[in-house]
Amino acid sequence: MTQTDQLAQSLRTRHVVMIALGGVIGAGFFIGCSAALSMGGPAVIVSYVLAGLLVWLVNGMMRDLASQTPGRASFLGQIRHALGDRFGFVAGWTYWLTWVTVIGVEAIAVTSMLTPYIPVPYAVLELLVLGVMTAINLLSVKGYGEFEYWFSAIKVAAIVLFIGIGIWAFGAHSIPVQENLFAHGGVMPHGLMALLAVIPTVLFSMGGSEIATVAAVESDNTEVNIARATRTIPLRIGGFYLVTISMILCLVPWSDIVPGQSPFLLVMNRFHVPFAGLAMGIVILVAALSSLNSGIYVTSRILFELAEQGDAPAVFLAVEPKTQLPRRALLASVGSAILVAVTAVLSPGVIFAVLVSLTGGFMLFNNALLVLGRLKLMPQKAVGAYVALALIALAIVAMMIQAETRSQIEMGTFAIVVILLAERFLPRGTKIQNNTP
């Protein structure tokens, strides 16, 4: 029996699908899209189409690789099988660092939302939030799956309800759609470069569907569940994103959208939807808790998988017999996330800012590795892979154009080089399982 076989296999297809769906609908969708809309104007829908196309293609790469990778393997195992241990090492650690940072950021966000209502010191409340979400993950993997299922269901229901409100608004009010789209500076008010510049923002808000491949390892049928999740989720996400963004642009002038404020709430307030502020606040809180929940789960499994391959200390291989959870890996990941949150207070402009800025480059890098792995193992029907690489290159160019995101590529590249050197020169542990024949 391998170490991976000691993990529970209690997640079901409905869990895996909703985990993947919830991973790409976070607080960044409900609030973060405001920055893209205000910068790109009505033509920003093109940026969403391109980003959605990349998400769809990369999910297709994961589905194809799942059929070629032996055993129960996450996307990290797919990269390792296709490209070798070195790239598996780099992909694993960059992904772990990305999600540890996300946990820290989401913990700060949730605490900030709860502070006005819970009269305890900020630091205590933040530890309570992390403690509760950690306890949920320590109960059982099925417990995590159930919480994430309902978190995701609430987010999906909110989007469906918003679409319903939009349809009602079109029928009950005289909406100046043409004026909203064309009378406030035109369809492309800030030019073509603005559309390129917002692609990274849009792409990052859609990230997270790869969590399904990690969760599928603890499901009853890994390969089948990966195939189902990756085949259906991108189409649903494309529908949610494209429909809702198009609806917002038609219902209100893009120039009224304020970066950092939810355009969903703007639309509902404009049409006097009762309790809109309270409802949107709950949805955003649920979205942040969902990201926090998934972050704790995925970092623990990635750290466990790294230890299994000798890329992390063997102490993280311990699996609790009763719960079948990698408890030490989970607690270590949460502890690291607490350190990230601490840097937001002690060094917000240096350490914390660097950690946050690394996530963009890391995500593009891992997407590129998945595509390259697909090309190596399955060179046939490679058009989609080349299109995906072209879109990744376009996103990198877009980030290099902007001064505020150029540093993300530069620091991300430097960090990847450092991790590569660590793989080359640091002592390695014993590999427990080798997925490569």
Tell me the two tokens of residue 46: 């093109």
Q: Look up tokens 């020169």; give the residue.
A: 425
Cα–Cα dist 59/241, whole Å: 16
Q: Which long-range contacts (CB under 8 A, 24 or more apart) does 399-404 make?
A: 399/200, 399/360, 399/361, 401/193, 401/196, 401/197, 402/197
Could you report how far apart the first and last alpha carbons of the chain are, in Å? 17
In a domain, residue 173? The reply is yes
Cα–Cα dist 34/245, whole Å: 10
In a domain, residue 430? The reply is no
> What's the pLDDT tens digit per position in 17-74?
888 777 778 777 888 788 889 888 999 999 999 988 998 899 888 888 888 888 777 8
Tell me the two tokens of residue 424: 């080359």
> Strand runs (DSSP E) across 34-190, as ranges?
none
Beta bridge partners of 11: 219
Indicate the burial class of 198 (C-beta count within 10 angstroms; 0-12, 13-18, 19 or more): buried
In a domain, residue 435? The reply is no
Report the number of secondary-structure helices (H) and strands (E) in the chain.
18, 0
Task: Tell me if 382 sits within 8 A of 375, measured CB to CB.
Answer: yes
Which one, of 432, 373, 369, 372, lies nearest residue 90 by Cα? 369
Q: Look up tokens 């949150």; give the residue.
A: 341
- The pLDDT value recorded for residue 1 is 45
> What's the pLDDT tens digit per position in 126-164?
999 999 999 999 988 888 889 889 998 999 899 999 999
Cα–Cα dist 78/428, whole Å: 21
User: In this structure, what are the phi and psi dihedrals at residue 219, rounded to the nearest 5 degrees?
Assistant: -110, 175
In a domain, residue 253? The reply is yes
Number of structural domains found in the chain: 1
- The pLDDT value recorded for residue 5 is 58
Query: Domain with 305 in it: what CATH number?
Result: 1.20.1740.10
Among 99-113, 288-302, 339-353, 375-389, the range scoring the smallest mean pLDDT is: 339-353
In a domain, residue 115? The reply is yes
Cα–Cα dist 118/115, whole Å: 5
% of residues, the chain, pLDDT over 90? 43
Mean pLDDT of the chain, nearest integer: 87
Cα–Cα dist 188/185, whole Å: 7
In a domain, residue 206? The reply is yes
pLDDT band at 436 (very low <50, low <70, confident <90, very high): very low
In a domain, residue 434? The reply is no
Task: Tell me if 202 sits within 8 A of 394, measured CB to CB.
Answer: no
In a domain, residue 436? The reply is no
Determine the residue type at 262.
S
Count other Cβ atoms within 10 Å, centred on residue 404. Answer: 9
Statement: residue 235 has pLDDT above 90: no
Cα–Cα dist 79/69, whole Å: 9
pLDDT band at 8 (very low <50, low <70, confident <90, very high): low
Count, residues in the chain: 437
Statement: residue 302 has pLDDT above 80: yes
pLDDT band at 435 (very low <50, low <70, confident <90, very high): very low
Task: Tell me if 150 sits within 8 A of 290, measured CB to CB.
Answer: no
pLDDT band at 437 (very low <50, low <70, confident <90, very high): very low
Task: Tell me if 292 sits within 8 A of 28, measured CB to CB.
Answer: no
Query: What is the per-residue burial (b if ≥16 Cβ within 10 Å, else e) of 174-193?
Result: ebeeeebbeeeeebbbbeee
Task: Tell me if 310 sits within 8 A of 430, measured CB to CB.
Answer: yes
Position with higher pLDDT, 305 vs 349: 305
The torsion of the CA quartet 103, 105, 106, 109, rounded to 10 degrees, works out to 160
CA 362 from centroid of its chain's CA atoms: 12
Please tell me what DSSP assigns to residue 388: H
Position with higher pLDDT, 406 vs 126: 126
Please tell me what DSSP assigns to residue 4: G
Q: Which long-range contacts (CB under 8 A, 24 or more apart) does 267-272 make?
A: 267/162, 267/165, 267/166, 267/169, 268/162, 268/165, 271/165, 271/169, 271/173
> What's the pLDDT tens digit per position in 163-220?
999 999 999 889 999 999 998 888 898 888 888 888 888 887 787 778 888 888 888 7
Q: Which domain holds residue 366?
A: 4-425
Cα–Cα dist 142/128, whole Å: 22
Which one, of 128, 73, 90, 89, lies nearest residue 292 by Cα? 128
Beta bridge partners of 219: 11
Cα–Cα dist 377/64, whole Å: 9
- The pLDDT value recorded for residue 22 is 76
